[in-house]
Amino acid sequence: MPKEWTFTLALNRQITSDEANLIDATDNFPLFIDGSVSYTRGGMGPSKLHCDVAAETLLEAVALVAEEIRKISGLRAVRVVHEDIVTLDMAAQRTAGRRSRQSLVQLSKGQRGPGGFPQPEEKVGGTTFYSWPKIADYLRGLGDEIDQVSRYSLIADKALRLVDEVENAGYSVPASIWNSLGLLSGSPPNE
């Protein structure tokens, strides 16, 4: 059953006003139309995509967004942004199933565990934000095996960075080489 994944992707450049109009005015971008993905424009650096996408896995969710943004020639997702400030929903996702949102809520309210859950970093409207590094350290102190950065997020990030490096080099990689490297095959690793 698909679940919702929350993540941010950096693009290779800023989205232009013409591209923004294309995204906003056509049916070719269903993830943007339904509100699953929003984008930033202006400011320093490349545009970012803020995503709340339903999929079986984080990698599938990232792939859906990466595929959709590639409909615009020359625009692509190039990395996963590892943000330190998270909601408890996002923190639960990063525990890779070790903790649910409800478990983290109970820990944060002192209803479970030894107390001492990290205090919120900020509240915006009705949303409370926490430091992921502090939550990860706290959970490790309880004996949970928690990565500082989710393994799945790292895999998605490295995949996007690899494709970006290949494209920046102007190198066309034949499918046979991707297959030989284990990146394109009939069955993914661990299946």
Q: Is residue 7 part of a domain?
A: yes
Q: Where in the sequence is the domain holding 131, given as residue range(s)?
A: 85-141
pLDDT the model gives residue 185: 59
Domain final position from 66, 81, 96: 81
Torsion of CA 17, 23, 24, 25, to 10 degrees: 100
Same domain, 122 and 96: yes
Whole-number Cα distances in Å, 130 to 83, 91, 111, 182, 190: 11, 9, 18, 38, 33
Same domain, 44 and 91: no
Q: Is residue 174 part of a domain?
A: no
Q: Is residue 184 part of a domain?
A: no
Cα Rg of the chain, angstroms: 19
pLDDT exceeds cutoff 60 at 189: no
Same domain, 70 and 95: no
Distance (Å, rounded) from C-alpha 185 to C-alpha 176? 9
pLDDT in tens, 30-60: 999 999 999 999 888 999 999 999 999 899 9
- Quote the Cα angle for 36-37-43, to 5°: 155
Whole-number Cα distances in Å, 71 to 26, 68, 100: 12, 6, 35
Distance (Å, rounded) from C-alpha 118 to C-alpha 107? 9
Query: Which is higher by pLDDT, 65 or 166?
Result: 65
Structure tokens, 41: 């424009």
Closest Cα to residue 75, out of 33, 24, 157, 18? 18
pLDDT in tens, 99-144: 999 999 999 999 999 999 999 999 999 999 999 999 999 999 999 9
Beta strands in 110-170, from DSSP E residues, in sequence order? 122-124, 127-131
Same domain, 94 and 69: no
* pTM higher than the cut 0.85: no
Torsion of CA 53, 57, 60, 66, to 10 degrees: 50
Same domain, 22 and 63: yes
Q: Which of 64-68, 132-136, 164-168 has the lowest mean pLDDT?
A: 164-168
Neighbours of 176 (CB within 10 A): 9
pLDDT exceeds cutoff 90 at 174: no
Same domain, 47 and 89: no
Same domain, 112 and 89: yes
The whole-chain average pLDDT of the chain stands at: 91
pLDDT grade, residue 190 (50/70/90)?
A: very low
Q: Name beta bridge partners: 79.
A: 10
Domain final position from 56, 81, 106: 81
Same domain, 76 and 89: no
Q: Name beta bridge partners: 77.
A: 11
Q: Is residue 175 part of a domain?
A: no
Q: How many domains are contained in the chain?
A: 2
Same domain, 59 and 8: yes
